[in-house]
Structure 1
Amino acid sequence: MKKILFTICFLICATAFSQILSSSIEKKTLALGETNLFIIKIVNLTGQNVSAAAKDELLPFHFEEIKDSIGVNTHSYERKIEFAVYEEGKFTIPELEFKVGDRILKTIPYEIEVVNTAKKGDQINDIMKNKEVKLETADYWQLYKWYVLAALALIALIIVTIIFIKWGRKKKSSPVVATNQTLKELDSLKKKKYIEEGNYRSFYVELIDISRKFITRQYHLPADVLLTDDLIQLMKKNNTISQENEKVVEEVFLRGDLVKFAKTFPDKETMEKDFTEIREFVKRSSKDLEFENLRKDV
């Protein structure tokens, strides 16, 4: 009997002093551009710190955050996010991680359906009847002159582009220039001090964007339009990039995707390591191209 009472008391105390996370969504169905409210609460903090995605960066891409307010005291944490969606369809707010002390708490996922409330076939009535007006040649010129000028400018641009492609020398497309340009972009990223400030989301977004543009220029792979999984599969199939460099790209890009959707929170050491490895990958890229040229010659 004493053991049973002891067990019950232990469970009551554990429940009373453990952190409890709850979340709620105001509406599951929205009209285009209609605002919605997403609330996350954590109680029983007992003075522990709460770590989560930065302000205005908690929700995925399609959710336009309008207001992100955070209230914290020694006992509770509350985050209210007003958002809107400007595309039709079904969108998911995935599990979101909140680190309380050494514990990781997760919200439940929510599915939001966004509909267009305008009905097909709605009749639009004119306030006044249309009047017929006779136009002269000068009137037509005033109406369409900008279209004509734009068409002439477009034709001129096409001619200049053809001349440049046919006779111009693309000096900036050389591997050395692409490498140096990317190294300068990485140095600029380093100066923004995202790592020192712990702004991991902005850091990985810019790091991967720089890397994608570099892979597109240097290896002529469509890295700027492919999803991460498709890019990794293409690199392994293409064999242009060495296995060492493939491994660096795969690890950093996959971690960047997890950071983007608030599924992982990398520390400063990890961010420094990923930055250094991408920088070394850029420097080593010329060896990949030399090997590829030798293989083509053989």
Structure 2
Amino acid sequence: MKILKKTFLLIFSFFCAIFFSQTLSSNLDKTTLALGEVAVFKIQILDLNGQDVQASPRNELLPFHFEMVNDSIAKQKDIYLRSVKFAVFEEGKFTIPEIQVKVGDKILKTIPYEVEVINTAKKGDQINDIMKNKEVELNVQDYWDLYKFYVLVALMIIAIIVLIIGIIKYGRKRKSSPVVTTNQTLKDLEKLRKKNYIENGNFRAFYVELIDITRTFITKQYQIPADVLLTDDLIDYMKNTNAISQENEKILEDIFLRGDLVKFAKTIPTKELMAKDFTAIRDFVKRSTKDIEAENLRNVSITELSDADKSKNRKFK
């Protein structure tokens, strides 16, 4: 009786294993591939009995050497089917490792596969064109259409370079030209007049600003370092350079010396004298262009004499 019970239990267990266990199978349709040739790898699971199947996400089932073409999954109550199309673009041997699939609480594994990828092209193979190349004659308009963009860009770059050179070369000259410097100084003097230092008897502030404006003007207009020289040194410098006419030198000398006396409280000028000095400086600024023209003429004459001397020396040699 006991023997019959054991036999019945064994048979029952066997049939349960057959009818209630899952069956996993895998298949690779090709193990030798040409470069870029598409192959298909399939996984099939039977007898699911509605259990959940967990595997790698789409397009991540195979290693990175395998370029995914398509990854499709079909699942029903009792069957799971996954079909992966792939290609390999490197020569060599590559392995599809065993892949784990979780069904319910069980882990199922596929068998590994080895794939060999070969280059079917042979050295020296002749490649024939489908159609022969045709020669097409291009005219001027065709060449213009092909290269007009590059020509326009090149012309634009040249124009920008010329414009920049012009601004650097001529812009500086205009900003530092005698007329510009004169006009700017006249504006500064007008601002000084509107402060009413003369009317209010503020002689010290008047002479400080008047002389500062004049020193700045002389520095820019005559290239004399008037902004850093002391009064006596500046007067000697002007006399030695001859850049300023004697008439203008005398006016500047008197006003600069008087300004020093006023700043150090050694003298108190009248309003009439302050107005006279203001007018004298303004007139000097207006006349300065004549000094510049005279200096330019002197430089031209010196250059011509120097060239003449050089030519004489060559003749004597």
TM-score scaled by length of structure 1: 0.44
Relative contact order higher in (CA < 8 Å, ≥ 6 apart): 1
TM-score scaled by length of structure 2: 0.42
Greater gyration radius: 2
